[in-house]
Structure 1
Amino acid sequence: MSEISSKQALAAASAAYITWGFLPPFLAALQPASPLEILAHRIVWSFVLVLLALLLLRGGWSWLRSSVFTRRALPSLLAASALIGTNWLIYIWAVNNQHVVEASLGYFINPLVIVLLGVLLFGERLSRGAQIGGAIVLVGVLIIAAGSWQGLGISLALAVSFGLYGVVKKRSQLTALQGLLVESAFLTPLALPYLLWLGPAGQFGHNTGLTVLLVMAGAVTALPLWFFAVAAPRLQFGVLGVLQYVSPTIQFLLGITFFGEHVSLSYWIGLVGVWIGSVIYLVMTIRSHQQPEALEPT
């Protein structure tokens, strides 16, 4: 992978974040499949696709014994599987129930949740600028909460579930594709029996177009992670930090245009606070030369 140039890495990272940004219309196209059925297909076909990719790469499987089936790694990977499955289900439900704007807010808040968890769980320290940025984000969230507690619940559920996912993945020695394979492998014994139980009551096989889209859910899950795995080691933290906000921005714009969702004045005011606070935090973090890990979205 050393032959990848910085321009190619930037293109790969952009492709990953743009794909994640345009995920809501794809998920909406999977209706009338239920969120649980969509999740099950996403898990099963991700597992199949990533397994095939790793078989083609012929990288060997010794990492399973050294980095998965150990007393230290296995509980963390099981927890990561449960958390990412929960995050995916909440996100799918949000999109298919006209809460795209609230979902996008969750991923605006997520970097700050990760920072808070780093402070509380790992004793990490914040610069004064980062503290100011985080405080502004908090004020923005409180303004939004004053106008819509229900919507905020969706945002916080997504932000916290993915933040906790980042915590348990912090010490993982797996690559992005290896991690996705393991997590989907742990979830497939739940997802596949559910799909078999659905049988004719499910949407798979009844409509050719929808069936193809359900299979493509695996590619839509795995390919952005592949792009991200290629790009992340080759780009500066500041570049990844800026790109991290591309996905929720696209999702928010799609929410108010493509999905026609209404955004109240208090929501706009709070969201502006979240944007300003996030920018301040990002700029101050880059200036202080801190290097927190950049995590992938769903």
Structure 2
Amino acid sequence: MTPVDQPPAGPARTVHTRSGVLAGAAAYGLWGLFPFYFHALRSAGALEILAWRVVFSLALSAVLVTALRRWGRVAAVARSREQRTLLAAAAVAVAVNWGVYGLAVVDGHVLEAALGYFVNPLLTVLLGVLVLRERLRPGQWAAVGVGLAAVVVITVDLGRLPWMALTVAVSFAAYGLLKNQLGRRGGGVDPLTGLTVETTVLVVPAVVALLVLGPRVTFATEGPLHAGLLVLAGPTTLVPLVLFATAASRVPLTVIGMLQYVTPVLQFVAALLLGETMPASRWIGFGLVWLALAVLTVDVVRHQRLGARRESAGSTPVTVHER
């Protein structure tokens, strides 16, 4: 008898998975290095950085869509009222995320921005309960509870609500939720098409912002290096998205979940290298966040392993008889 229910294995599969992990690590690594990039552009201010990021992302997306002959996909999404609405909402969420993150870096609050991305997985779980009516496992509730305690500790330490961190976390979680709904209802939209539509929605407000800034726009006044860094806003936005899409299609979601912690860890290190201080009380708050993430990660890994065992126990190998 020859079993025919075994998945294909071998070097090709290993290389495929390895390339996916490398792509994911590269995407999250690039996102983790963003504080250095935005810090170099701090003379422009958060609003101008956001505006140029939208403009140059759209410009690069348009070039790539033309080169790859994908305008048909963009037009199809534009004709779909549901997809168009979800992408417009996603555009607002990502604009808030980009804007507040840029403001955090420019104003020297990279640690608070990093906190937002540490909290994001916990907030995503909470959104699943509030919006999708999902039921949390005890481990997930424990992680969310510890995460909320961490926010309280950090609020006391700062003497104010860490609104930048919470806005970064909420906007990114909302962006992920909208993308999830897009995939469920509309069959999914590839990253290039999605970014093209989203930046098209945002380009008019971006241009208006540049006109309002007027003589304060630094693109032509800070020298060629500064202008070049602003132009790079297009590639720095698009390249990590493409790498992430590559990883998501090649490795399990659990691996993606583990890799996502690379970004806030690098941002945390970047904040310290850029001279931000970390008092003992804040270490306690961040320690609680890391504990919550550890609990959440262990719960996810255990749940996936149990699911795999049940699936394996419940399946019956399909065989054929050789004659």
Instruction: Note whether the superposition's TM-score is higher than 0.5.
Output: yes
The equivalent residue for 1:165 is 175
The equivalent residue for 2:257 is 241
Q: Which amino acid aligns with 1:152?
A: P
Taking the aligned partners of 2:254 and 2:175, their CA distance within structure 1 comes to 22
Q: How far off its partner does 1:276 sit?
A: 1.1
1:38-79 CA-partner distances (Å, limit 9, x unpaired): 1010000001112212222224514532x3333322222221
Q: Which amino acid aligns with 1:191?
A: A
Aligned counterpart for 1:78 among listed residues 75, 88, 93: 88
TM-score by length of 1: 0.90
Q: 1:281 to 1:191 in 2, by over 3 A?
A: same
The answer to whether the Cα contact below 8 Å between 2:247 and 2:256 also exists between their aligned partners in 1 is: no
The answer to whether the Cα contact below 8 Å between 2:47 and 2:209 also exists between their aligned partners in 1 is: no
Taking the aligned partners of 1:33 and 1:140, their CA distance within structure 2 comes to 33
Aligned counterpart for 1:35 among listed residues 13, 26, 46: 46
The equivalent residue for 2:108 is 98
Q: Which amino acid aligns with 2:28?
A: Y
TM-score by length of 2: 0.84
The equivalent residue for 2:314 is none
- Unaligned runs of at least 5 residues, structure 1: 291-298
Q: Which amino acid aligns with 2:85?
A: P
Taking the aligned partners of 1:213 and 1:202, their CA distance within structure 2 comes to 14
Larger radius of gyration: 2
Aligned counterpart for 2:268 among listed residues 252, 263, 269: 252
Q: 1:287 to 1:64 in 2, by over 3 A?
A: farther
Taking the aligned partners of 2:61 and 2:74, their CA distance within structure 1 comes to 15
Q: 1:94 to 1:57 in 2, by over 3 A?
A: same
Q: How far off its partner does 1:197 sit?
A: 5.1
Query: Is the aligned partner of 1:186 residue 2:201?
Result: yes
The equivalent residue for 1:135 is 145
Aligned counterpart for 1:111 among listed residues 121, 127, 146: 121
Q: Which amino acid aligns with 1:239?
A: V
The answer to whether the Cα contact below 8 Å between 1:127 and 1:285 also exists between their aligned partners in 2 is: no
- Unaligned runs of at least 5 residues, structure 2: 1-11, 183-187, 306-323
The answer to whether the Cα contact below 8 Å between 1:17 and 1:224 also exists between their aligned partners in 2 is: yes
How many residues are aligned here?
287
The answer to whether the Cα contact below 8 Å between 1:102 and 1:151 also exists between their aligned partners in 2 is: no
Matches within 5 A, 1:1-298: 5-65=16-76, 67-150=77-160, 152-172=162-182, 173-196=188-211, 198-206=213-221, 207-256=223-272, 258-289=273-304
Larger mean CA deviation between 230-239 and 140-149 belongs to 140-149
Taking the aligned partners of 2:35 and 2:162, their CA distance within structure 1 comes to 18
Taking the aligned partners of 1:95 and 1:30, their CA distance within structure 2 comes to 10
Q: 1:63 to 1:184 in 2, by over 3 A?
A: closer
The answer to whether the Cα contact below 8 Å between 2:56 and 2:234 also exists between their aligned partners in 1 is: yes
RMSD of equivalent CA atoms: 1.9
Q: How far off its partner does 1:214 sit?
A: 0.4
Taking the aligned partners of 1:96 and 1:78, their CA distance within structure 2 comes to 27
Taking the aligned partners of 2:75 and 2:302, their CA distance within structure 1 comes to 39
The answer to whether the Cα contact below 8 Å between 1:130 and 1:282 also exists between their aligned partners in 2 is: no
Taking the aligned partners of 2:26 and 2:243, their CA distance within structure 1 comes to 7
Q: Moved runs in structure 1, 4+ residues, more than 3 A?
A: 196-201
Larger mean CA deviation between 122-131 and 198-207 belongs to 198-207
Percent of residue pairs identical: 37
Taking the aligned partners of 1:8 and 1:148, their CA distance within structure 2 comes to 42
1:172-228 CA-partner distances (Å, limit 9, x unpaired): 221122111111111011212433554543111221110000000111111100111
